[in-house]
Amino acid sequence: METIDKIKQQISENAIILYMKGSPKLPSCGFSSQASQALMNCGEPFAYVDILQNPDIRSELPKFANWPTFPQLWVEGELIGGCDIILEMFQKGELQSLIKETAEKNKPESAE
């Protein structure tokens, strides 16, 4: 599978996905740490891709996204931004409502 197709698939299959260095529990850079911390504080599950383990994605995603740096937060197929934007939205309370609404909308239907 082509790298760009892999990226598109990840973004389409995960309503909330963070491309970062390391993992939320073991981030490998300060910006990724702050971004994942803000996301975890929203209290909803999210997917992540460790770009250090995926050098193909690390090299292709900035071109695809037209965004040069990591981390990158994508919500419902749309690039939200990097660390500064994530933290700014978190401080304003915008990130929490965006993440909560997205998680609600994309919850698997409960079998009742």
Phi (first) and psi of residue 68, to 5 degrees: -75, -20
Binding residues, as ranges, are 21, 29, 58, 70, 83-84
Task: Give Cα separations from 40 to 7, 25, 90, 100, 104 (angstroms).
Answer: 22, 10, 11, 12, 16
Q: Measure the CA–CA gap between 18 and 14, rounded to whole angstroms.
A: 10
Binding residues for glutathione, as ranges, are 21, 58, 70, 83-84
